Structure formats: structure tokens, C-alpha cells
């Protein structure tokens, strides 16, 4: 089914809730129909954007081209072994719905990623992560539709080039790849991941907490620190945690002994807490009209109601400049700015 509209309002199509419009907006649940539509409407495809639930998007202004939005395809088990299962989910499924479904089925793995806003399709693109887990830990393969040549194929996990909030799907060369389905390997042995210190503290009084208890603890942690996009417009963490060289990290530690530093996958480099850097600049809770920094988490930019995309963009630039001046570190947006 193809549904095409003109001048589609986007305020309810992304979690920052900025008022913007798309020149054309297309929804579909059939990849082959999308390919056929592209062949017969080539003129619409000169400027296009693929979105899910828009949980990682900031529209600075109206979108002048075509937005493509997949529709839900469901969730199913495709392989069930003695100690693990392989499940398949459509890209348009709500991410937290998938996590809840897996936990209720007794499939372990995704519970640490509870309440991350967005769709399943965003998980491999962004390599979403939180509380000691990342999507790459469980993804086995991703079905993509190549809108450049109207073909579809599976990309194995080891070819996805997963990194910190990064993947092959974010590269310019793959900008015409539409994530259509994602497969995950989950476990039947009830294993839990309690590496994150805040989670350990949350569960310390429980005897042998299972995946349901972990999910509930993660939900409590997130809701205590992060705003609900349904109530206050936001896109979660707006900036990536910066990765800097060991010498640079050591130099900063000599000046700021309380600077949080963490190991990362890049040799001879450390990861810093972007929220700490922003807080040290005195920006936590800073507000300009309806564009602001969340008072409980400095990494989250919020729309208090009527902020424009340009106002949020200007606030993000102000944060970047202020952190750059104080620490000589350039924060990179995690959110895609369109």
C-alpha cells in the first residue's frame, strides 16, 4: 500500500515536536511497491529523506522534498534453538514495544535498551546504546532496500561497521539504503547485564533479578533523568560523548581531576561525558524562549512547546562554542539536523 500526501505536517512525526512541513510524504508497507513507485515517479526522488519515528531528527525548516516512512510489519521468531532465538522485526515497529515483547517472551538481551525512543530501524543505523549495552551486541543481520537501484539484500552484522553511535547505514555512500527489517539473536538462559554501576545500585536489594526486573530498573533510571517526548519535546542525547586521545585526556585530568573518563574501542583514546562538560560550562537548565537544556540532564535539548527548529539549532551551536572555548573539545551532534 502506497500513501502519498503533499504538505504533510511534521510536528507529530518527530519527537522534538518542531512545526515543519514536508513537500511530499510517502508511507508504505511493501518494498516492491515502493520500488515500482520510484520507477514511475523519478522526479520526486531528487531530494528525499527516510524517517522512522523521528526520534533523532531536528528540522531547521520545512523539508522541500520527499519523506519516506515505512509502516509496521510485525515481529516474529524465525529460529528457536536450545539456548537462543533469532527474531525478526519490521523497521517501523516501535523500539520499546519490541523490547517489552522480548522480555515478556523470556528472551534476554534488549532489556537494558528499554525506553529508548524511536523505531526498530533506527537501532542499526544509530547503533543505539545505553546502560552497558548496544544494539550491535544482538543484531545478526539487516534487510535493506537500495533505493538507488531498486534491489533488496541482507547485510550481515560483521559488515555493518558498527561503532559508537555509528554504522555503515550512516555513511554517505549508503544514503539510499532503507532499513526494512532487523534480526536479533537473544538468549533463553535468563542472563542479565548489570555492568552499569547505576543499574547495580538499583538492583542491589534484589535476589537474582531477572530480565523483567532489569527492564523495570532501567525504566526507573531513565524516567528519573530524562523527559518523556510525549510530554516535552526532545530527541534524547543531542550530542555524542567525545572521544579524545590519551594525552589530551591526561592533560584535562591534570586540570579537572573530577573529569569522568571511560575506555572506548579506539586504541589510545578515552571517552568523555558530554553532559559533564556542558554542566561545567554552567549551561544545565539554560533556556532561550522555548528552546532549552533539560534541568536534570545537560545532554538533552528540549522544546518547551513552541521552539522553532532554528532556535534549537542556535542553542546547540551555542553549547558547542561554549564547550569548545572552555575545554578545546568540539561536541558532535548525535541528532541528525535537516
Catalytic annotation, residues: 165, 237, 334
d(CA 165, CA 260): 19
d(CA 158, CA 315): 37
Tell how far CA 143 is from the center of its chain: 18
Pair type for strands 287-288 and 151-156: unpaired
d(CA 170, CA 214): 30
Q: How many CA within 13 A on the CB side of residue 167? A: 27
Q: The C-alpha cell of 72 is what?
A: 509496521
Grid look-up 515502493 returns 34
CB 105 within 8 A of CB 210: no
d(CA 143, CA 247): 41
How many residues belong to the chain? 338
Q: The C-alpha cell of 65 is what?
A: 522534498
Distances (CA, A) of 128 to 137, 138, 160, 169, 269: 10, 11, 13, 13, 21
DSSP line for 39-75:
HH-GGGGGSEEE-SS-TTEE-SS-EEEEEEEEPP--E
d(CA 194, CA 199): 6
Amino acid at each position: 500500500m502506497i500513501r502519498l500526501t503533499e504538505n504533510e505536517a511534521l510536528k507529530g512525526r518527530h519527537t522534538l515536536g518542531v512545526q515543519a512541513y514536508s513537500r511530499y510524504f510517502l508511507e508504505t508497507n511493501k518494498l516492491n511497491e515502493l520500488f515500482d513507485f520510484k520507477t514511475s515517479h523519478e522526479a520526486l526522488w531528487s531530494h528525499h529523506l527516510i524517517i522512522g519515528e523521528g526520534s533523532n531528527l531536528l528540522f531547521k525548516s520545512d523539508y522541500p522534498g520527499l519523506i519516506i516512512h515505512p509502516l509496521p510489519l510485525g515481529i516474529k521468531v524465525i529460529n528457536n534453538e536450545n539456548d537462543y532465538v533469532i527474531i525478526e522485526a519490521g523497521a517501523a515497529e516501535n523500539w520499546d514495544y519490541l523490547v517489552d515483547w522480548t522480555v515478556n517472551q523470556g528472551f534476554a538481551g534488549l532489556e537494558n535498551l528499554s525506553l529508548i525512543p524511536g523505531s526498530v530501524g533506527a537501532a542499526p543505523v544509530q547503533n543505539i546504546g545505553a546502560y552497558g549495552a548496544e544494539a550491535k551486541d544482538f543484531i545478526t543481520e539487516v534487510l535493506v532496500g537500495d533505493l538507488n537501484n531498486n534491489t533488496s539484500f541482507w547485510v550481515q552484522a560483521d559488515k555493518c561497521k558498527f561503532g559508537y553511535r555509528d554504522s555503515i547505514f550512516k555513511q554517505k555512500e549508503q544514503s539510499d539504503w532503507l532499513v526494512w527489517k532487523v534480526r536479533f539473536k537473544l538468549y533463553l538462559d535468563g542472563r542479565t547485564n548489570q555492568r552499569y554501576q547505576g543499574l547495580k545500585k538499583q538492583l542491589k536489594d534484589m535476589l537474582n533479578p531477572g530480565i523483567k526486573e532489569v527492564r523495570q530498573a532501567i525504566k526507573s533510571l531513565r524516567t528519573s533523568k530524562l523527559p518523556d517526548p510525549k510530554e516535552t519535546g526532545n530527541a534524547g542525547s543531542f550530542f555524542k560523548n567525545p572521544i579524545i586521545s590519551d594525552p589530551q585526556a591526561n592533560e584535562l585530568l591534570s586540570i579537572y581531576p573530577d573529569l569522568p573518563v571511560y575506555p572506548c574501542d579506539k586504541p589510545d583514546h578515552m571517552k568523555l561525558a558530554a553532559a559533564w562538560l556542558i554542566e561545567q560550562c554552567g549551561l544545565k537548565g539554560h533556556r532561550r524562549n522555548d528552546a532549552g537544556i533539560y534541568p536534570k540532564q545537560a545532554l538533552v535539548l528540549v522544546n518547551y512547546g513552541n521552539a522553532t527548529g532554528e532556535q534549537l539549532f542556535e542553542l546547540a551551536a551555542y553549547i558547542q562554542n561554549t564547550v569548545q572555548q572552555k575545554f578545546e573539545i568540539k561536541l558532535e551532534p548525535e541528532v541528525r539536523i535537516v
